[in-house]
Structure 1
Amino acid sequence: MKIAVIGGTGLIGSQVVENLNAAGHEAVPHSKSTGVDIISGQGLDEAVAGADVVVNLTNSPTFDEASLAFFRTSMDNLLAAARKGGVGHFVILSIVGVEQVPELDYYRAKALQEQLLAAGTIPYSIVRATQFMEFMDAAMSWTADADTVRLPATPVQPIASEDVAAAVAEVAAGAPLNGIRDIAGPEIFNLDELGRITLSHKGDNRTVVTDPTAGMFAVVKGDVLTDKKAHLAPTRYTDWLS
């Protein structure tokens, strides 16, 4: 199968391309660096021409209200190009529980992206993942100083990017779900606890202070999966740290 991976040079995209090509598919990465601009539409028709599947792994450059316009414009352009090219399957990566946190602009933007895809005429699949293990350093940096890191006790179920990429590649190579597949890591932590584990592993002596108002995840009720149909990835957090 020929698969156009939009955002195929990023953290997840590059691994998805590698996995699909290793499985015998023809996965082609596309991004601004390859001449494809999903906002202006430049290069999109050429990128999806002849593709059986389009995987959209692009992300908004900001987490604020501007992310809504980013996902609306990019999805409108991508879906139009995919329809023109006769694409038979369109895949996106989203967030577990995204519709439950309307307080966050970015979550509302990702929910909009899902709605635009589901309302279209192209068979589709949505892979929803919990928070990436790779994002823990960023989450701590938002509310850190020289001595402390402030984090809420939000429950999270972190997943390694390699496990996300494997799941996306599997879905892209299969029949359209016309629905959602949830994936998550195998363990549940409170975010403040995860911060302490991370700092201890790094030999960082800063203190984690539990603060229910700290950072973006303060308003998130938690992305813990309770659905028994959810797919649990194999990589544990301490193994990933090591």
Structure 2
Amino acid sequence: MPFEHREVSVMRIVVVGGTGHIGRQVVEHLQSSGHAAVAASPSTGVDVLTGAGVADVFAGADVVVDVTNPPSFDGPVVLDFFDRSTTNQLAAEATAGVRHHVALSIVGVDRMVPSDTVGYLDGKVRQEQLITAGPVPYTLVRATQFHEFIGMIADVSTRDDGVHLPHYLFQPVAAADVAALVADTAVGEPRRVVEIAGATRAPMDEFVGGVLRTRGDARTVIRDDDAGYFGARLADNGLVPVADGTVIGPTAL
């Protein structure tokens, strides 16, 4: 079994971003296991950017899970989002006595050099820096790219002559498997870092090209090592796990 399941006492767990794609699934996993999981987002009156509603929802929480994303992928917006939202959460958690902060991150972020233009990956680097230097025991759940985002990666990489992608190694995982691991991590002790990836590893250009063909998409995928990944130049193995102990998601693409 890919995930470790344990008998634990009932916890109050706040899932920040709990109304989003991953967050909803995390909340469902936790509630089905008998925990008091609360979804926190602007739609529920909680804004981690301004701090509105944060202290109230964190009161009495054992664990806070952060699966938020910025409203846009514009570089300065992303950096500001992760800086302010993470700072506000950690301060409120320290005041409330939260024992465990769990954040969803990206495999390879710890090995990335910030890109020349501030982008999404730079924001995740900043988020991790704040958490690891912060006052609350933590676990970073680093995941590879989601199966569900392969089409989006192809779309943003499309030029007039085809889909330009680098030859970086690529090992995507199902979002449902990530959500299950985040939920399981939340009810355990802080572990600093857990990583999850899918079962299949191949160069990004070849992997995405195969998926597009399977879907009947006629676009040509062109290997372009200058294309980078969302504005960042990475090592060939910059998007895949390199350490032992990686969790392998059970869902095939």
The TM-score normalised by the length of structure 1 is 0.91
Distance in 2 of aligned mates of 1:166 and 1:156: 21
Query: How many Å apart are 1:162 and its aligned residue?
Result: 0.5
Partner residue of 1:228 out of 230, 240, 244: 244
CA change 1:143–1:111 in 2 (3 A) is closer
Query: How many Å apart are 1:64 and its aligned residue?
Result: 1.1
**Who is 1:166 aligned against?**
180
Partner residue of 1:47 out of 57, 63, 75: 57
Q: After superposition, what is the alpha-carbon deviation per residue over 1:207-242, rounded to whole angstroms, capped at 9, x for unaligned?
A: 1111112253562323222322211111222xxxxx
Distance in 1 of aligned mates of 2:157 and 2:128: 30
Query: How many Å apart are 1:146 and its aligned residue?
Result: 6.7
The answer to whether the 8 A contact 1:17-1:27 is kept is yes
Query: How many Å apart are 1:145 and its aligned residue?
Result: 4.7
**Which residues of structure 2 form unaligned runs of 5+?**
1-10
1:211 alignment partner AA: D
Write 1 or 2 for the structure with the bigger share of helix.
Answer: 1
1:73 alignment partner AA: R
**Who is 1:86 aligned against?**
97
Q: Tell me how large the CA RMSD over aligned residues is.
A: 1.7
Partner residue of 1:186 out of 199, 215, 221: 199
- Identity across matched positions, percent: 46
**Who is 1:102 aligned against?**
113
Partner residue of 2:152 out of 138, 141, 161: 138
In the alignment, structure 1 residue 195 sits paired with structure 2 residue 195: no
Q: 220-229 vs 144-153, which deviates more?
A: 144-153
**Who is 1:155 aligned against?**
169
Which secondary structure state, in structure 1, belongs to the residue aligned with residue 183 of structure 2?
Answer: helix
Distance in 1 of aligned mates of 2:249 and 2:79: 30
Distance in 1 of aligned mates of 2:20 and 2:43: 11
**Who is 2:6 aligned against?**
none
Query: How many Å apart are 1:80 and its aligned residue?
Result: 1.4
Query: How many Å apart are 1:25 and its aligned residue?
Result: 0.7
**Who is 2:13 aligned against?**
3
**Which residues of structure 1 form unaligned runs of 5+?**
238-242
Q: 157-166 vs 65-74, which deviates more?
A: 65-74
CA change 1:21–1:97 in 2 (3 A) is same
In the alignment, structure 1 residue 205 sits paired with structure 2 residue 221: no
**Who is 2:84 aligned against?**
73
* Over 6 Å off, 4+ runs: none
The answer to whether the 8 A contact 1:143-1:215 is kept is no
Distance in 2 of aligned mates of 1:223 and 1:94: 12
In the alignment, structure 1 residue 60 sits paired with structure 2 residue 81: no
The answer to whether the 8 A contact 2:82-2:124 is kept is yes
Distance in 2 of aligned mates of 1:68 and 1:182: 23
Which secondary structure state, in structure 2, belongs to the residue aligned with residue 126 of structure 1?
Answer: strand
Query: How many Å apart are 1:107 and its aligned residue?
Result: 2.2
The TM-score normalised by the length of structure 2 is 0.87
CA change 1:115–1:90 in 2 (3 A) is same
Q: After superposition, what is the alpha-carbon deviation per residue over 1:185-208, rounded to whole angstroms, capped at 9, x for unaligned?
A: 111021111222221121112211
Query: How many Å apart are 1:37 and its aligned residue?
Result: 0.8
**Who is 2:130 aligned against?**
116
Distance in 2 of aligned mates of 1:58 and 1:31: 9
**Who is 1:20 aligned against?**
30
Distance in 1 of aligned mates of 2:89 and 2:147: 29
Aligned residues, how many? 236
Distance in 2 of aligned mates of 1:97 and 1:235: 21
Which secondary structure state, in structure 2, belongs to the residue aligned with residue 234 of structure 1?
Answer: coil
